[in-house]
Amino acid sequence: MWAPHARHVAVAGPWNHWDVDGRPLQRVGNGVWAGFVPGLGSRTPYKYAITGPDGLTRLHADPMAQFAEHSGGM
């Protein structure tokens, strides 16, 4: 995950009740965050919980995902 201005990045999904702090990633260099979530299947929904410089945490879809939930809209 590339988030150069993030204060904190985590992975949230139904397995942790969308807890934005439940599975933190580690900053590995120049805005790159990495981590591993054991036991997830290839179609398990998840989002990145990114805390920005303003201190607010927002959920973001993975831009490199090969599968995404359909919201029902166009």
- Per residue in 15-42, pLDDT (tens digit) is 899 999 989 999 998 999 999 988 888 8
Average of per-residue pLDDT across 49-55: 97
Q: Rounded to the nearest 10 degrees, how much is the dihedral formed by the CA atoms of 21, 26, 31, 36?
A: -90
The C-alpha atoms of residue 38 and residue 71 are separated, in whole angstroms, by 26
pLDDT of residue 69: 66
Mean per-residue pLDDT of the chain: 89
- Cα diameter, the chain: 37
